[in-house]
Amino acid sequence: MNVAPKTLRHLSDLSEAGLVTAENHAALDRVAAQYAVAITPAMAELIDRNDPNDPIGRQFVPDPAELDIRSEESPDPIGDFAHSPLGGIVHRYPDRVLLKLTHVCTVYCRFCFRREMIGPDAKPLTPRQIDAAFAYIAAHPEIWEVVLTGGDPLVLAARRLKQAVSCLAAIEHVKVIRVHSRVPVADPRRITPELVRALKAKGKATYVVLHANHARELTDAARNACARLIDAGIPMLSQSVLLAGVNDDPQSLGALMRALVECRIKPYYLHHADLAPGTSHMRTSIQDGQELMKALRGRLSGLCQPAYVLDIPGGHGKSPIGPNYLVCDDAGGYRVEDFNGGQHCYPPPK
């Protein structure tokens, strides 16, 4: 009898799979004791065991560098707590809220900005807390959009997702339901017809935002999972994190954006990596990020251009931080830079 591959959750699993070496075990024990570990079979299969800097492995395999905590890093780097009026709700922007139904993910990214809050040991919301979260949304008519996040909402059973979507559908002023997930690439088998049906609600617009950081994550199985959502009428966007050694060169980043568009997924956000504890080895500089965005501009289709954003520490929200192509000149007009670096006056001289 064939035994289905299992999710790797312990250092012994990672050792057996050839993903960690014995020499790092002491440090990795400390990392695993502090931050959750899980690598699905779909992701483990993509990791090149012969490349210590494999871009898929860098995202999921624990690293002793995670023990290096910098003074500027924070357990809550984007200020969720400052905007959480009750359990499961983050209300940072006027017209939308985050609804965190679960604190569990199929895979645990080593750069996660919520790494201190999620994992199998995180305390789940009680039924009373879930009811209170829906009541909060119903009591705030300014809430136009609800973003299901976590954790990863698509780890939930289709039955539970349907219940949540039905509760939101019953709230007249909620018009948009957005689901943020890594599941279509991390565990494509979970995107079943039943789960797809659970995400849809009559009279509401449902969007799924896929988290993917490297083109190799978009395997045939992942593409098929995304197609099941899109063919059912659920538009997909993407969010990616700019990561050192993963996608911080024009070729890798461009290949990812093109692969997403080929899957009918519109690139939405490229996040500058947050100041989460123990993640400095995965962060680039903002200047490097701006140069990468300039490298994409004009050379890749406009469909492939995400917004490069920084989530301002302290809970002040996202701001675009891409390169600026427009400056004022001394004559009261502007100088505009084209994608080849040429400078042009606007309006043009007579």
311 is annotated as an active-site residue: yes
Residue 128 lies in a domain: yes
Residues 198 and 146 in one domain: yes
299 is annotated as an active-site residue: no
Residues 99 and 218 in one domain: yes
How far out from the chain centre does Cα 34 lie? 21
Residue 252 lies in a domain: yes
What parts of the chain have a pLDDT lower than 70? 1-4
Catalytic residue among 162, 274, 283, 304: 274
Catalytic residue among 9, 30, 80, 93: 93
Residues 179 and 298 in one domain: yes
112 is annotated as an active-site residue: yes
167 is annotated as an active-site residue: no
Select from 165, 150, 272, 267 the least CA-distant residue to 210.
Answer: 267
For position 330, what pLDDT does the model report? 80
Catalytic residue among 109, 167, 226, 304: 109
Cis peptide bond N-terminal to 254, omega within 30: no
Please provide the distance, in angstroms rounded to a whole number, between the alpha carbons at the two ends of the chain.
80
Residue 4 lies in a domain: no
Pseudo-torsion of CA 83, 88, 175, 164, nearest 10°? 180
Catalytic residue among 30, 318, 325, 335: 318
Residues 153 and 229 in one domain: yes
304 is annotated as an active-site residue: no
Helices (H), the chain: 11-16, 25-34, 41-44, 55-60, 127-138, 158-169, 183-186, 193-198, 220-231, 250-262, 286-296
Per-residue CA distances from 12 to 18, 22, 23, 45, 337 (Å): 10, 10, 13, 17, 54
Q: Are 102 and 96 in contact (CB under 8 A)?
A: no
294 is annotated as an active-site residue: no
Its domain, for residue 38, covers 11-67
User: Encoding tokens for residue 23?
Assistant: 């020499």
Per-residue CA distances from 93 to 16, 86, 88, 317 (Å): 45, 15, 15, 8
Catalytic residue among 35, 58, 108, 112: 112
User: Encoding tokens for residue 49?
Assistant: 């065991």
Catalytic residue among 96, 100, 223, 266: 96
Residues 231 and 315 in one domain: yes
User: Encoding tokens for residue 117?
Assistant: 């809050």
Name the domain count of the chain.
Answer: 2
216 is annotated as an active-site residue: no
Q: Report which residue type is found at 107.
A: V
Residues 149 and 19 in one domain: no
Catalytic residue among 54, 58, 92, 283: 92
For position 3, what pLDDT does the model report? 57
For the stretch 50-74, pLDDT in tens is: 999 999 999 999 999 999 999 999 9
Residues 28 and 119 in one domain: no
93 is annotated as an active-site residue: yes
Cis peptide bond N-terminal to 347, omega within 30: yes
Residues 191 and 253 in one domain: yes
318 is annotated as an active-site residue: yes
Strand partners, 270: 240, 308
Angle formed at CA 277 by CA 31 and CA 222, multiple of 5 degrees: 75
Residue 129 lies in a domain: yes
Residue 340 lies in a domain: no
Residues 60 and 86 in one domain: no
For the stretch 218-260, pLDDT in tens is: 999 999 999 999 999 999 999 999 999 999 999 999 999 999 9
Catalytic residue among 105, 167, 226, 263: 105
Residue written as token pair 């357990």: 75
